[in-house]
Chains A and B, each alone.
Chain A
Amino acid sequence: MELASSTARRCSYFFRTKSILILWMLLMAVVFWTTYFHYKYDPKYYYLREMLGSSLYLSRGTASMLNISCCVVVLPMCRGLGYLLLSLAGEHSCSLIRCWINESKKIHIICAVTIVVASILHSISHVINAQNFSHHYNYHFKDVNVANFCGEDPLFTVLGTVPGVTGVAMVLVLCLLCSSSMSYVRETCYDAFWYTHRLFIVFLVLLVLHPISGVLKEQSNIDHHIPGCRMDNLTHTDSKTAHLERLHEYFDECVVQPKFIPQNTQTWKWVVSGLVVYVIDFTYRLIRRRSTSGVAAVNNSQASVLELTLETKTRFSFRPGQYVLLNCPKVSLLEWHPFTVTSCATADQAKFTLHLRTNGDWSLFDQSEQTSTFKVPYTATRLYIDGPFCSPSEGVLHHRVSICVAGGIGVTPFASFLNYIRVRTRNLDKLAVKRFHLLWLCREMQSFLCFTDLLTCIQNQMWEENRPDFIDIQLYLTRQYRQEQLQNILRACPGLVYKVQFGRPDWPCLFREWEELYRGKLHCSLLGNSSCLKWRKYDCTRQRHRIRIMMTYSLETFILTYQCYLRIKVPNMTFHGHTLHMLMVISIIHIQGR
C-alpha cells in the first residue's frame, strides 16, 4: 500500500513537472503520424510513392512537425506578450499560465530541439528522395519528375531547384544557430550567440520560400485517371495498395493522362502567424520603450554596487520582482541589460530605482579608478528603458509563507518586495503572504550596506505596527575572516552588527525549524545566486534522504545570461505523518561579464 501510494505520488509529480514536454511530444507524435499515413495511403500521391518509397512519408511527416515547431518556437520569446497575459490575469492569475510563462525559455529549447531533430530526419529523407527521383525517373508521366533525366547526379537535382537551395541554406543557418547557442558559447562569448541568433529571420524567410515553388506534385484528376492503371508499363509495380485493387474492379482502363499540380503548402500560414505575433510583440515593446528624462540620483557609496534613481516622463507601473532592460547609448547602442526594479511603484511619482552591480565591460562608471565615478555627467545622461517584464520571483507574493534565500546582489527582487510591504504595513492582512523569511548571504560585509537603510526601516515599521513576526530577516557573512579583521569590519558598520551571522546557514537546523513551524500546507520560495547554488543543491539533496523530498532542478536563463532563475519543486513531503505541499523557487541573479 505504501509502495503503491508512493509510486502514484511519483507518477503524478513526474507528469506535473514534465507536463509541457509530454504534451509537446504527444502533439508532435500525432502530427507526424497523421501526415505520415496521409501520404502513405492517399491515392493522389500514388506516382510519387512509386518513385520515392517510404522516404516520402518520412519527409512529409517531419515537414509538418517543422511547420508547427517553427511557429511555436518564436512565441516563448515574446516577453511583452507574456507580460500582457499576466497583467490581464491580474495578481491572482492561474498558476499554470504563470508557470508556463516562467518556463518560456524551456519551451523555446524544447521547440528548438524538435526543429533540429526534425530537420535532420527531413534532410536525410530528402537526400534519399533526390537519389530516387533520378534513379526511378518516370518516363510515362514526365510532369511528376523533379530530376531532368534518368541517372542525374542528385547533387545537381537538389541544387537546381528552389527547395533544394533554400533547404541547404536553412541547414547551414540552423547549424550556425545551434552551435552558437550551446551553453558554453553563451557563457564565454555572449555576443556571438546574441548576434548569430538574429539569423532566425533569415531562417524563417527561407522556410516560407522553401515549399512555395511546389516541386512535389499531387495528381489532380483521380476521378478520370485511376492512379496506377497503366501499371504494367511502369518500372515499379511491387506496391499495389488495396485501395487501387478495389478501384480496378470497377474500371478496366483509363483514357485520360494523369494531371499533376503542385501541392498546397501550409508552411507559410504557420511561419507567418508565428512571425506576426513576434512582430506585434516587438512593436508593442518598441512603443512601450521609453527614455528616461534623467537620472535623479546616483548612490555609489558601495564599492561595486551603483544605485540609480531614474525618472520617467510618464508614470511607470510595475509589480515587485519585475525587471527592466536598460540601455545606455553612450556606452553601447545595441546592448540591453536586465536589472530588477528595486523600488516600489507609487501612484504619485514617476521615479524608480535600480541596483547595478558592476561586472564586465558594460558599466556606467569607470572601474579603473579606485573611486567609482560616473563615466558621463549623470544628470545629462539619457538612458533607455524597456519593460517591465515578468520574472518567476513574482510568485513570492502569492504563497502563504515565502522563504527567500538571496546571495549577494540576488537580493534585489526581495528588496522590491520589502519596499512593497513597507508601503502597505497598515493593511498587511490583505496580502496573500503571511510570513516572509529572508536569508541573505554575502561574501563581503560591504555588500550588506546597499540595503541597510531599507532593512532597518522595515524592521522598525513592523515593530510599530505590532507585527514583528511578519518578516524574519537573517544575514549571513560567508567569507572566511581572521578574527581581528572581522572585528574591524563590524566596527565599521555598526548598524547591522546585531543581525549578521557568520558562516553559511545551518540548513538542517533551519529545515527542522520550518518543519516545526509550518505543519500542513506550505509554500517556500528560495532565492540565491549561483555561487551558493552548489552547496544549496548539495544540502537539498542531503535533506532529501532524511525528509524524503523529491526535487528537480531546472535552470532558466532570461534574455541574456545575466539573470538565471532556478526552480525547485518539492511536492508531497511527509513529516511525522503530515503531508506538506512545498514549492521552492530558487532564483539566481547572476550578472556575468561580457
Chain B
Amino acid sequence: MEAAGGRVSNFGRFWLIAGYAFLYIPILTLIIYSFNDSKMVTLWGGFTFKWYGVLAEDKEVLDALALSLKLAFTTATSSVVLGMLGAFAMVRYQKFFGRTMFSAHLTAPLVVPEVITGLSLLLFFVMLQRAIGWPERGMFTIWAGHTSVGMAYAAVVIQSRLLEMDKSLEEAAQDLGCKPFQVFYLITLPMIGQALASAWLLTFTVSLDDVVATAFLSGPGSTTLPVLILSRAKLGLNPTINAIATITVAVVAVGVMAGSLWMYKQEKRRAAEQAAAYRDG
C-alpha cells in the first residue's frame, strides 16, 4: 500500500477510504435512522428519542438482553476454565495417548459449521431428554452449546500465550521451592492472566452474538437478544431494532477505544521505564 517514500499513494488512499466506507456507512445509516421519527424505516420523518423509550418498556427485549448477558457471562467463564485446561494439556504434555485426536477435537468446533454443531447437539439433548427426562431445552442447553464452541476459541488464545511464555520461569519457581500447584497459581496464572482476560472477552462476544446454535438449542421462553432481533427483522424492519443496534455499537466502540487507549499507555510507560533503567543502570 505504501509508496517508496513511505507516503500512501493516491491509489492506496482511495481503496482505504472505499474500504472504510463499505464497512461503516451501513452502521452509520443504522444509527441515524434510530433517531427517525417515522414508522417507515427508510423514510426520514424528523428527529426523536422515542424508540429508545419504547425499547426501555419492551419487556421481551429486556428479558432477552438479560438472558444473553447471563449466557455470555457463564459461557465465557466456563470456556476459559475448560479452554485453559485443554491448552495446558496440549502445551505442557508433548506425549500422551490420543494427543493428536485430542488436539483435533479441541479445535474442531472452530471449523465445523455451526449449523451442524447446533443440530447435533439438539438431537443429542432431545434423545437424552427422552431417555432420562433431562435436560429441558432452555438456558442450560444453550450454555452447553456456546461453551463447546467458546472453549475452542479460549484454548487457541491461551495456547498461543503458553507457547510464548519462557518455560524457565516455571522451572525457576520449582527450583526455588514451589510445589507443582504453587508454580501454577503463583507464576503461570499471573503470566497468562492477560490471555485469560482476552479469551474471556472473546468468548463473551461470541456467545453474545451467536444466532445459529442458539436457534437450535433455545426452548420456549428462552430467547436471546440476537435471536429476538432476527425474528423481529423477519416480521418487518422496526426502528426499535435500530435503537438496540445503536446502543450495542456505542457500548462496543467505547469499550474497544478505552481498551486500546489503556494498552497503548501501558506499552508506552513500559518502554519509557525500560529506557530509563538502561540510562541510569
Check if A and B associate: no
List residues of B whose CB falls within 8 A of some A CB.
none
